[in-house]
Structure 1
Amino acid sequence: MGRQRRKCALAAMIGLAAPIAHAQSSVTIFGLLDAGVSYISNQGGKSNWQMADGIAVPNLFGLEGAEDLGGGLKAKFRLVNQFSLGNGSIIASPSNSSMTSGGLFAREAWVGLASERYGSLTMGRQQDFMVDTLLADVGADSALYVGGLYNFRDGPFAGLNLPDSPPGDAYDFDHMNGAEALSNSVKYTSADFSGLKFGGMYAFGGTAGNFSQNSASSYGVSYARGPLAVGAAYTNVKYAVLEGESIRNWGAGARYTIGNALLTLLYTNTRNTQNGAAVNMVEAGGTWHVTPAFGLGANYMYMCGNAGVDNNHAHQIDAVAQYSLSKRTTVYAETAFQIANSGATAAIDGTFGPSSSNQQFVGRIGIQTRF
């Protein structure tokens, strides 16, 4: 993700307090901002106009730093806050469980060591490999390029009974949008071996007498070379509210660039091991830069559940037109339309209000910038 970085030497700040010879340190300040006006055709039975923010990209403010320890080894940290641009409040988590909710730096908060040869070992509140591998490394999720939050997963699948979702909803059911980082986690990420990367993490539950309760594990592997990137990931989160059972996600995806076009393909599977409810999702999308400043994008998503979610299914189409005013600032117009089976209620991710029917439409104009 490109961003303009502002670096300042820590040595000038700490002065004689820590005279470390030959060590070079830096801190980077970065952020994302997004705001716009959205029209929702049916939100609980009524249409709605709203100033909505954090849709195309989340509103983030972050700090990350590195200290060169010599021999290709660095100490690193990252702190990321997510907030509402509309009222300035901190967005900790939509969670109803204590497993993944957080505070000021709920999006990310970690520290560790990184080696050019051996990879990195980090500890804190971190993203799992559904996000790191499929979203960041491979770029297989069309939501990165088309629709943002409206293009992540939701639908008539409340039967999944996700502890980290608003009641009666299936918000981000495949754990891909990064809103639910894992607390108390230790993560290893390999170095890049000619395009091959892999990693694993474990999040400690912290429950006395029950080591696995509220714990989580995640793994990912990816390969990127030239125009092609492919990868697969797995995340298993155990919850006390599910009596020790878990929400399991796994997925695989690919990205391919050809000329001014980019194509993506993604599959995910989500299962609640307590009640057996499961949903499969497949998505295909693409973007095309008509000119260096103007681009178009679209994707199609199909979600299908088993008997645990009443065999509900839904189709969703998203489209976007974007114009870059500069390297940092973009204006855009986007639409999203979901239609579910008869008797089910459509729910587009990020509307936070399912339709009263099996259809829901969103239209939006907005602006995003980064620093």
Structure 2
Amino acid sequence: MIAAAASCLSAGAFAQSSVTIYGSLDAGVAYINNLGGGSVSRLDQGTMQPDRIGFRGTEDLGGNLKANFQLEGGFYTDSGGVPNSTKLFNRYSTVGLSGDFGAVTLGHMPDVVFDYVGKLSNGFQLTNWYLFHPGNLDSLANTYQFDNAVRYTSPTVGGFQGSLMYGFGEVAGDNSNGRNVSAGATYGNGPLRAAVAYSKLNNRAAGYAGTFLTSVGLGNATTVFKSLTTYAGGIGYTLGSVRLNAAYTQVKLDMPTGLTPKQKNLDLGAAWRYATLDTINFGYGLSKLEGARWNTFSLSHVHEFSKRTQWYVQAAYQRAGGDARFAVMNGTGASGSTGVSGGQGQLVTTIGMHHSF
């Protein structure tokens, strides 16, 4: 009788909690011209969606209050390696509470620019890693996250939701060193979605942007910005079988040399579901950094075997102009980092498969 009662109590307790294991695997054969003095064919990882595995869970605490956690780490399907050997869960490592008041989340996570505006960019909407902007300085791709962060997200009221985020620098005697702040708002109503966001990161390392900075003579992989300030906005609209998106970002780079150049990026995209299981994506992107500019054009086709499995063919072409001497497409470098072409033009084509679970 005691064992039966314990079993019932245990079953009741577990019924109040849930844990989900999820992930994404993506691999394709890519051809890249004008790279390292020639062309290259290779197996690419995470082109349509980033390779990742995660754990997400909730516990019902009663009174509409829930405890939440998320652990998510990235990896490379083509090699089994990881983007950051020092962080097991490099994409998300959070715990928090949610309820009628909204949600409070603590830990390691991307900023509000990625969460709100990044999902309206060409890289996300047209499912092509190569379409994120040179160096990913605006963080529209999840390659840089806040450590030691606290985020508050409001409940959704009339389609509106807002979010504030603060990352502690945790440097004794200098509260601004390494401090990160971010904020934004999003609106959704039927076929319309819009978002604005802001982030300011102090003492951020160049990271993926190192190769890009070298190509324009502003820095290198060891560069640490005094601050990196991003303003971003985006909009999406679905009209029947056509989905449209646009995004704009402006990034102010406060360099250790005292220079303060600005990178400006514009995305325009369209996706046409011309058949039940088939979609064609069209995209155009413009990036400017002072007198340099890069125009990126893209075309892709996605066939859905199911909601979890897709086959795709993609092509992206970038042309440098103005003071820019080289194409600098995000993703053409090693392990998906920014690469520098051997000239002003570069073409990337990929045929691959994506599966989520």
SS of 1:62's partner is strand
Pick one of 207, 210, 220 that aligns with 2:184: 220
| Alpha-carbon distance in 2 for matches of 1:113, 1:323 | 39
| 2:28 counterpart residue number | 36
Match of 1:61 among 53, 57, 65: 53
CA distance in 2, matches of 1:262, 1:347: 28
Specify every segment of 5 or more residues in structure 1 that has no aligned partner in the other structure, as ranges: 1-13, 94-101, 155-170
Match of 2:106 among 112, 120, 123: 123
Cα offset, 1:15, TM superposition: 7.6
Q: Deviations over 1:78-102 (max 9, x none)?
A: 0001001112112228xxxxxxxx5
Q: Which residue of 317, 330, 340 maps to 1:354?
A: 340
Counterpart CA distance in 2 for 1:330 and 1:107 is 23
Tell me whether 1:265 sits opposite 2:246 in the alignment.
yes
Q: Does 1:330 align with 2:305?
A: no
**Residues 47 and 283 from structure 1, CA distance in 2 versus in 1: closer, same or farther, beyond 3 angstroms?**
same
Give 2:18's match in structure 1, choosing from 9, 20, 26: 26
Distance verdict in 2 for CA 1:80–1:361, change over 3 Å? same
CA distance in structure 1 between the aligned counterparts of 2:312 and 2:26, rounded to whole angstroms:
11
Q: Aligned partners of 2:67, 2:127: CA distance in 1, in Å?
A: 36
Q: Does 1:201 align with 2:169?
A: no
Change in CA separation of 1:193 and 1:45 when aligned onto 2, cut-off 3 Å? same
User: Residue 188 of structure 1: which of 152, 157, 162 is its match?
Assistant: 152
| Cα displacement (A) at 1:194 | 2.1
Query: Percent identical across equivalent pairs?
Result: 31
Q: 1:273, CA displacement in angstroms?
A: 2.0
Q: CA RMSD in A?
A: 2.1
| 1:192 counterpart SS class | coil
Structure 1 residues 1-371: aligned runs within 5 Å: 24-92=16-84, 103-115=87-99, 117-135=100-118, 139-154=119-134, 171-239=135-203, 245-274=226-255, 275-306=259-290, 311-341=291-321, 344-352=325-333, 353-371=339-357
Query: Structure 2-normalised TM-score?
Result: 0.87
Q: What is the alpha-carbon distance in structure 1 between the residues aligned to residue 304 and residue 24 of structure 2?
A: 15
Letter in 1 for 2:97: L
Q: How many residues align?
A: 326
Contact 2:164 2:184 in 1 (8 A): yes
Q: Which moved more, 1:337-346 or 1:226-235?
A: 337-346
Q: Which residue identity does 1:361 align to in structure 2?
A: L
CA distance in 1, matches of 2:15, 2:203: 43
Report the secondary structure of 1:341's partner residue.
Answer: strand
Does the Cα contact within 8 Å between 2:125 and 2:245 map onto a contact in 1? no
> CA 1:237/1:36 → structure 2, altered by over 3 Å: closer, same or farther?
same
- Could you say if the C-alpha distance between residues 120 and 368 of structure 1 is closer, same or farther in structure 2, counting changes exceeding 3 Å? same
Give the whole-Å Cα distance in 2 for the aligned partners of 1:22 and 1:332: 40
After superposing the two structures, state which structure 1 stretch, 339-348 or 314-323, moved more: 339-348
Tell me the distance in 2 between the aligned counterparts of 1:88 and 1:22: 34
Letter in 1 for 2:347: F
Q: Counterpart in 2 of 1:99?
A: none
Distance 1:31 1:277 in 2: 38
Distance (Å, rounded) in 2 between the aligned partners of 1:176 and 1:255: 15
- Aligned-partner Cα distance in 2 for 1:85–1:238: 33
TM-score, scaled to structure 1: 0.84
* Secondary structure in structure 2 of the residue aligned to 1:143: helix
Q: Is residue 204–residue 228 contact of structure 2 (8 Å, CA) maintained in 1?
A: no
Gaps of 5+ in 2: 1-5, 206-222, 334-338
Output the CA distance in 2 between the equivalents of 1:175 and 1:295: 26
Contact 1:23 1:68 in 2 (8 A): no
What is the CA deviation profile of residues 50-88 of structure 1, one whole-angstrom value per residue up to 9, with x for unaligned ones?
A: 101111100010000000001111000000010011121
Q: After the TM superposition, which parts of structure 1 deviate over 4 Å for at least 4 consecutive aligned residues?
A: 14-23, 240-244
What is the DSSP-based 3-state SS (H/G/I as helix, E as strand, rest coil) of the residue aligned with 2:229?
strand
